[in-house]
């Protein structure tokens, strides 16, 4: 449900479709790449999204070469490459870089898509509600509207210091994974899964099986970043699907 995976050799395994995180239905891995280091990515029968979190990298794929830069998750918009099954991608770091790789099974074939900064849409959520205690900035990258052929959803959330988000507590049938980052190593928050609370730390992971309620908050002085990843279910894709816990529904009616 919640874990604090360590980096080993520049690699941090978040979820796998075959281990005790198999209910998430996704392979998710974070990588730290040294300058000049390269990775070959792409899994048989799996679509893959490669999100740049920080640094300067070059994507090599489909006989193309595309460079992407990002000063950091709190200061710059994302770039993400999305490819279908059996497409090989080489990522080369032009300086120290951080990437997040999300994969899941998908029999469909589709053209590779590089989501550049100008392709990314964002919006502010819950502004003006509850004295702005749950206001946050939401970034959409891959979803059912822009990529109906995909089995995945990928986005980012920027929670302002001392704010709640993923609020009010809610759940949905589709499994979801959160990957958290802070701009200072001592940053912290709390994640509520069902009736249990977990301390959110830099590079920690929240995992929400279908039907499990969740919400989180970050400490004053510590903005929180989160990459959020959802797996569509067969015949039941996620399209802003949510069921709010009824005991908190009155909050949505408050003016």
Q: What's 220's domain CATH number?
A: 2.60.120.10
Residues 215 and 15: their CA atoms lie apart, in Å, by 20
Looking at residue 61, what is its pLDDT?
A: 98
Looking at residue 253, what is its pLDDT?
A: 87
Q: Which domain holds residue 10?
A: 2-253
pLDDT of 254 strictly over 80: no
Average pLDDT over residues 188-200: 97
Over the stretch 225-236, which tens digit does the pLDDT of each residue have?
999 999 999 999
Q: Is the pTM of this model over 0.95?
A: yes
Q: Name which of 25, 41, 4 is nearest 179 in CA terms.
A: 4
Over the stretch 141-182, which tens digit does the pLDDT of each residue have?
999 999 999 999 999 999 999 999 999 999 999 999 999 999
Over the stretch 206-219, which tens digit does the pLDDT of each residue have?
999 999 999 999 99
pLDDT of 255 strictly over 90: no
Is the previous residue joined to 84 through a cis bond, with omega within 30 degrees of 0? no
pLDDT of 110 strictly over 70: yes
Average pLDDT over residues 97-110: 98
CA 51 vs CA 80, 114, 250: distances in Å:
4, 10, 37
Instruction: Count up the domains in the chain and report the number.
Output: 1
Average pLDDT over residues 49-66: 98
Looking at residue 165, what is its pLDDT?
A: 95
What count of other Cβ atoms lies within 10 Å of the Cβ of residue 181?
Answer: 24
* pLDDT, averaged across the chain: 96
């Amino acid at each position: 449900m919640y874990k604090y995976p360590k980096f080993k050799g520049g690699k941090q395994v978040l979820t796998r479709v075959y281990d005790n995180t198999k209910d998430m239905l996704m392979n998710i891995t974070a990588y730290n790449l040294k300058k000049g280091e390269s990775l070959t990515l792409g899994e048989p029968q799996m679509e893959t999204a490669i999100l740049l979190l920080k640094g300067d990298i070059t994507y090599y794929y489909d006989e193309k070469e595309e460079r992407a830069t990002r000063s950091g998750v709190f200061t710059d918009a994302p770039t993400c490459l999305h490819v279908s099954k059996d497409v090989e991608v080489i990522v080369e770091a032009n300086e120290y870089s951080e990437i997040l790789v999300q994969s899941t099974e998908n029999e469909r074939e589709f053209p590779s898509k590089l989501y550049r900064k100008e392709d990314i849409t964002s919006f502010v959520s819950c502004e003006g509600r509850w004295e702005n205690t749950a206001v946050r900035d939401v970034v959409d990258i891959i979803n059912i509207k822009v990529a109906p052929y995909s089995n995945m959803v990928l986005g980012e959330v920027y929670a302002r210091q001392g704010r709640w988000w993923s609020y009010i507590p809610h759940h949905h049938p589709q499994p979801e994974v959160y990957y958290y980052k802070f701009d200072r190593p001592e940053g912290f928050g709390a994640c509520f899964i069902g009736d249990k609370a977990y301390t959110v730390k830099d590079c920690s992971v929240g995992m929400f099986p279908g039907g499990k309620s969740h919400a989180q908050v970050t400490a004053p002085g510590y903005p929180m970043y989160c990459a959020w990843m959802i797996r569509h279910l067969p015949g039941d894709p996620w399209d802003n699907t949510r069921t709010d816990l009824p005991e908190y529904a009155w909050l949505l009616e408050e003016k």
